């Protein structure tokens, strides 16, 4: 069974607002280990066309951002430079919270014959939770790298990693996952 590492929403504007240095370092170490072992690395980022026509005003999460998007720096939605994205990496653009929503991620994973997903992302209560739930419903095996995830609410982060995610995924640190690869 092949696996892929999904590094989700580790893009400039989100890392600046919600990321932690420790979370970024853990995610970078997981990416480095995956690359060394020829495990596909898939960076998932959220981005919209100019003017964000994909975003309905009624969308509670994204609707309010639509007007502010024009003021964003041009590189705001790019993958954080700490990852040094290479030609071997895959970048997927999504349109909603889940990595699967509005993207070709599922088709890509099926094409790569991936059955196991390893998740890292910002925020734990956003992209990680939404992607985990959808991936579980799609019958993917799941691992969440606890220290490569972060959230603006530490209590929500703790509850998700300690109580919710273990029902559908293995939860471990990036170092433990890397050690399991040898």
- Tens of pLDDT, residues 138-153: 999 999 999 999 999 9
46 forms bridges with which residues in the sheet?
94
Q: Tell me the per-residue pLDDT of 11-42, one tens digit each, with 9 for 90 and over.
A: 988 888 887 889 999 999 999 999 999 999 99
Q: How confident is the model at residue 102 (pLDDT cuts 50, 70, 90)?
A: confident
pTM: 0.89
Structural domain tally of the chain?
Answer: 1
Q: How far is the C-alpha of 182 from the C-alpha of 160, rounded, in Å? A: 28
List Cα–Cα distances, 8 to 12, 82, 156, in angstroms: 12, 14, 18
Q: Read off the CATH number of the domain in which 151 is found.
A: 3.40.50.850
Q: Determine the average pLDDT of the residues in 91-119.
A: 94
User: What 3-state class would DSSP assign to 172?
Assistant: strand
Spatial distance between the Cα atoms of 79 and 11, rounded to a whole number of angstroms: 4
- CA-to-CA distance for 161 and 84, rounded, in angstroms? 28
Closest CA to 7 of 22, 115, 34: 34
| DSSP reduced 3-state for 8 | strand
Distances (CA, A) of 141 to 5, 59, 79, 118, 126: 12, 30, 25, 9, 19
Neighbouring C-beta atoms of residue 113, cutoff 10 Å: 9
Question: In terms of residue numbers, what domain contains 59?
Answer: 2-180
Alpha-helical segments (H) within the chain = 12-18, 21-36, 105-111, 129-137, 154-159, 174-180
Per-residue model confidence (pLDDT) at position 55: 62
């Amino acid at each position: 069974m092949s696996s892929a590492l999904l590094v989700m929403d580790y893009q400039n504007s989100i890392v600046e607002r919600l990321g932690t240095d420790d979370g970024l370092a853990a995610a970078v170490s997981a990416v480095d280990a995956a690359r060394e072992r020829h495990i596909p690395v898939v960076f998932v980022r959220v981005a919209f066309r100019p003017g964000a026509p994909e975003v309905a005003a009624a969308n509670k999460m994204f609707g309010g951002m639509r007007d502010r998007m024009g003021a964003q720096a041009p590189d705001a939605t790019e993958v954080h430079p700490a990852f040094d994205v290479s030609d071997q990496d895959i970048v997927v653009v999504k349109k909603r919270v889940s990595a699967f929503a509005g993207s070709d991620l599922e088709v890509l994973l099926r094409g790569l014959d991936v059955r196991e997903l390893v998740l890292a992302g910002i925020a734990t209560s956003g992209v990680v939770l939404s992607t985990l739930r959808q991936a579980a419903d799609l019958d993917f095996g799941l691992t969440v790298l606890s220290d490569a995830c972060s959230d603006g609410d530490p209590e929500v982060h703790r509850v998700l990693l300690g109580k919710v995610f273990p029902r559908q995924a293995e939860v471990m640190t990036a170092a433990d996952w890397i050690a399991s690869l040898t």
